[in-house]
Amino acid sequence: MLAGLLRQLPLAELFGIIQTGRKTGVLIIRHGEQGARIHFENGRIIYARVLEGPNLGEYLMRMELLDALQLQELVSLQKHENPDTPLGLLARNRGLILEDQLLQALHAQISDAVTEVLRWAQRPRTEFRFEEIGPDSSQVPTEHRFDPQAILLEATRRMDEWSQGQVESWQVLRRVEDRPGNLSLEDWELVGLVDGQRSSASIAAEFDLAEGEVYRRLYQLVERRILEVLPVRPEDPFVLVVSPSATLRRLCTLLLTRARYRAVTAASLERAAAVLEQTFVSAAVIDSRQPLNDARTLRAVRGRAYLPIIVLTNETQGLRARLARLRYVSKPLLEEPFLETVAQVARRAL
């Protein structure tokens, strides 16, 4: 089994071994608490994702091909009826997206994942192992294959470009010129979202470009004096999202970030309690079948006795839940009612 540190075996060489040997399996990368998985079939990449990073559904939402409700319906269908079928293929088979749109979303997800792994590879203690599987073993079924060296070349180019300058995710920008000339369509869209209040992260959440690419473009617009960085930090409230579902955590994060909140996530109550001890949050969103018990656990954290809590549920709330000062949002999640409820408990207008 291939295993070791990426600083000792560069990613280009590792990809070369897998590609030349036409290997099939999963390359697992760990960097501290972060991780990624890159799936190969006969030496070519078929899927890749950063753990706790954007899933394919989020890319399709950023591309405005799916909305929040459609994404959740597909996840439910995948869970209960088609557990072995990737979400992208389900969306295509149901006529929600076209084949070239699926290919574009997969390419974006894989490129972003490999770029992140390449960034980790420059740091010590980034570990990898390749778990080879037999040709008859099932992996993520897909009809698309990607050249590892081409993906790596694109990731390297991105890293080089991004190293020349990026705005920080928390920085707030404003326009210097109301009608700047000679801009690309994407830069026009970026400038149109700059309002002197939104953070760069909130702006980046609106695009299907990689976050790092959005920050690079914003930096270039600052260098051209079309935009300027304000000498203030945004007062975007922190919102804790607790759910065992990675898809739901990512969906809430995307919606909250677009609406100028800063989302922190946890897959379990234990992790959520640890987050509350370190971060002051304006509200918590919990995906729970036992909201009274879970709310009691979170409010038991020192100083959080009156923590505003929103429960995501598909069950009818009872009197005890109302007396427990819980707010409810029905699942599947709809963007507008969800954000309205968050704004109410966080005491901020949308």
Read off the pLDDT of residues 172-210 as tens digits, 9 standing for 90 and up.
999 997 777 788 888 898 999 999 999 999 999 999 889
Class of domain 238-345: alpha beta
Q: What is the mean pLDDT of the chain?
A: 90
Average the pLDDT over 130-150 and give the result.
76
Q: How far apart are the first and last CA of the chain?
A: 52
Enclosing H/E stretch for 110: helix 99-121
Please say if the pLDDT value at position 296 is more than 90: yes
Kindly report, residue by residue over 37-79, the tens digit of the pLDDT. Answer: 999 999 999 999 998 889 999 999 999 999 999 999 999 998 8
Could you give the 3-state DSSP secondary structure of residue 166?
A: coil
Average the pLDDT over 118-146 and give the result.
79
What letters, b where the CB count within 10 A reaches 16 and e where it falls short, cover 182-220? eeeeebeebbebbeeebbbbbbbbbbbbbbbbbbbbbbb
Please, are residues 103 and 89 in contact by the beta-carbon 8 Å criterion? no
106: confidence class by pLDDT, cuts 50, 70, 90: very high
Token duo for residue 322: 């109302």
Distance of alpha carbon 156 from alpha carbon 142, whole angstroms: 26
Average the pLDDT over 315-326 and give the result.
65
Token duo for residue 269: 């109550």
Please say if the pLDDT value at position 322 is more than 90: no
Kindly report, residue by residue over 220-248, the tens digit of the pLDDT. Answer: 999 999 999 999 877 889 999 999 999 99
CA atoms within 13 A on the CB side of 152: 17
Give how far Cα 3 sits from Cα of 28, 29, 104, Å: 9, 10, 31
Please, are residues 337 and 329 in contact by the beta-carbon 8 Å criterion? yes
Amino acid type, 175: R
Kindly report, residue by residue over 11-33, the tens digit of the pLDDT. Answer: 999 999 999 999 999 999 999 88
How buried is 336 (Cβ within 10 angstroms: 0-12 exposed, 13-18 middle, 19+ buried)? exposed
Distance of alpha carbon 192 from alpha carbon 132, whole angstroms: 48
Q: Is the peptide bond before 332 cis (omega within 30 degrees of 0)?
A: yes
Give how far Cα 308 sits from Cα of 109, 294, 315, 322, 326, Å: 34, 13, 20, 13, 7
Residue 141, pLDDT score? 57
- What is the residue extent of each domain of the chain? 2-162, 173-229, 238-345
Please say if the pLDDT value at position 341 is more than 90: yes
Token duo for residue 60: 């399709």
Distance of alpha carbon 73 from alpha carbon 99, whole angstroms: 20
Please say if the pLDDT value at position 138 is more than 60: no
Residue 323, pLDDT score? 58
> How many other β-carbons are positioned within 10 Å of the β-carbon of residue 74?
23
81: confidence class by pLDDT, cuts 50, 70, 90: confident
Please, are residues 152 and 205 in contact by the beta-carbon 8 Å criterion? no
Token duo for residue 81: 């009826």
Which pTM does this prediction carry? 0.87
